[in-house]
Structure 1
């Protein structure tokens, strides 16, 4: 006997990264030497001192029980201290911090916490596909905000229709941006706070790549802007900053009413995050941060190597300002998917087609800087051998 899925599940978008993984796995099974630049999974291990803290915490019998539904006070205080130290932002640990089962969980939960069926949600295009999942699960009406290169990949609030502005209740932003690698300016966040106040909507800033900025520019937090806590929250994950992607721990910070809604919702979904994981997260947030700088330097070096290699083969590209992604235009005559398919089939190089991130991602591919410099150079040389760029320098 086979049971039908609910209408809600049937409406969910196709898991873009799952289908990409299947295509890559097929090539690997065929024996191909794949250089996978298509995913966002950090390639370095979690720093040793964080792993040690976890090992010690796991051995404590008191951690083998359910912990507080809403997370330990110790982790909430650590998150608040982290924001004070890194961004000069003061947060009340008990009313302005919610512990999350990974940043993704918080992002998908939020529409269900704040929206009713038919309410309007604004999302960036291109953007992280799981924003769409949250909209579907809440029965919300999703309206996309184009992120265009000529506007530095910021949404243009003035170009949103007036009826959309009036109906919108929630808006997602993400800087450093996935997939474009753009970073936010203080003036943009100030404009965002004004827009949110004028239209009485909640801003959710996805700060997943907050620990990764280049050229001496540290990414700024939305909460550093005057009025930000009044208008929304920021979601921070330990996945990227501390290479803890598999640990599933993050937190939301900001507006107390939103924090309360998240915690109430999670009361009905979970019992608690494993306390040993919370203890390890405390160690990550409060201990020496040298590992963060070392990792940032690693990504910047990879970025520089990749951009230089692309330019050498005639691929005109722009260097990202943050995140561990590069957002690159496809050659003339190709779509995002056809170009990605050629690279996989002919060069055994995996990139993510830009249209998987939204309509305005068409014409681009996303490259993850998640392998060493030699493999990045090799990927560029494999692509060069396909002779796809008309302006390839004569020296190559």
Structure 2
């Protein structure tokens, strides 16, 4: 019997979903979190280490500001697409306070969360075929946003032996005539790595020398430990101001992930173009959320200090417990709220009749057999790693890592 004839690829007129959008991978972190929540709703005692959000409530004074804003009819209407003037002024003041340099409120674009800021930064800077250097391990959204903008993500991977931090030599080796942008994220999601002030300055000077734009994601700036310092790129190399876009938001610092307020700061022409895009894409961020963000940014940082203390305690517990597992290498994260153990030493071993050969298979085993949800390294770059968030309660954290220890001790 002859094999069936190959079917022709669908034409543009018959393709149901565009190739551009159809090629987007689902957010792995959100997928893991959704699966863990679904299993818990079904009655299974799953502990989820997948979500990148603080487990604390938004501070009361921020919530009260939102309640007052909801009662004000002025907030029931459209507002400027680029953001409320009061919030843009608060972001400028916060930048001077926390990062040490002045910006104009006119050079701020308020976005629907940090993800929209990421997307619009790349959409504004990249033309089709432009390359964006992407140090890895990287947050799962970065390469998809680059591709959506028509750009080409070029991975530059730093392994556990480098503390997950790329070098200028690696960046230079990856640079081509098509290189337009470097993505820089410190403190890092997913690894928790924090570049030193000297490392940040060296990378910034390299970008300046070669005319490479920098998109710097500083959303974890206040979450550092063990004396690590998160150095703003423009504090390290002020001369980059005309070719740098800074991304930030209130989500991590103030436990406001659900309020959806982020922003980008950059040169006037870039911000104007990104604002034009947003005027067609979403228009303004919800006014109530913007007013809540004003309250957050104009208040003090006592709320983040309390969260940072709890995160630090959980961080030390997680690193200690994971470090006891034979086959796991776990550098202590210095920022954010993630641990990123290397698990190459576990692959190829058999646990309860299953022999995982990739970190994705290992993560599936942990969910099935230990009822613990983690995100595999494939979501952030090469296989051989797991990301575990320690932004969950102390008891759940100890129980969850204890289950991992128990299962992996059987191999």
TM superposition score normalised by structure 1: 0.91
SS in structure 1 at match of 2:407: coil
| Correspondence 1:221-370 to 2 at 5 A | 221-226=232-237, 227-314=239-326, 315-330=328-343, 331-333=345-347, 334=356, 335-359=358-382, 362-370=383-391
| Correspondence 1:196-207 to 2 at 5 A | 196-207=207-218
Partners of 2:142 and 2:151 in 1: how far apart?
A: 11
| Correspondence 1:149-188 to 2 at 5 A | 149-160=160-171, 164-188=175-199
Partners of 2:28 and 2:248 in 1: how far apart?
A: 23
2:123 to 99, 102, 112: 112
2:152 to 125, 141, 166: 141
Q: CA deviation at 1:18?
A: 4.5
Corresponding residue of 1:394: none
Partners of 2:186 and 2:272 in 1: how far apart?
A: 24
After superposition, give the CA deviation of every residue in 1:67-93 in whole Å (9 maximum; x if it has no partner).
122212211110111111122121111
Cα 1:236–1:332 change in 2 (3 A) is same
Question: Quick check: 2:194–2:228 contact (8 Å CA) kept in 1?
Answer: no
Corresponding residue of 2:108: 97
Q: CA deviation at 1:286?
A: 0.9
SS in structure 2 at match of 1:155: coil
SS in structure 1 at match of 2:332: coil
After superposition, give the CA deviation of every residue in 1:344-392 in whole Å (9 maximum; x if it has no partner).
1111111110111112xx11100000221122111222122224388xx
Q: CA deviation at 1:118?
A: 1.3
Partners of 1:17 and 1:246 in 2: how far apart?
A: 15
Q: CA deviation at 1:202?
A: 1.1
| Range 118-127 or range 256-265, more displaced | 256-265
Cα 1:260–1:147 change in 2 (3 A) is farther
Corresponding residue of 1:51: 63
| Correspondence 1:26-45 to 2 at 5 A | 27-28=39-40, 30-45=42-57
Corresponding residue of 1:131: 142
Q: CA deviation at 1:29?
A: 5.0
What is the CA RMSD across the aligned residues, in angstroms?
2.1
Partners of 2:263 and 2:300 in 1: how far apart?
A: 20
Partners of 1:66 and 1:299 in 2: how far apart?
A: 38
Partners of 1:155 and 1:59 in 2: how far apart?
A: 49
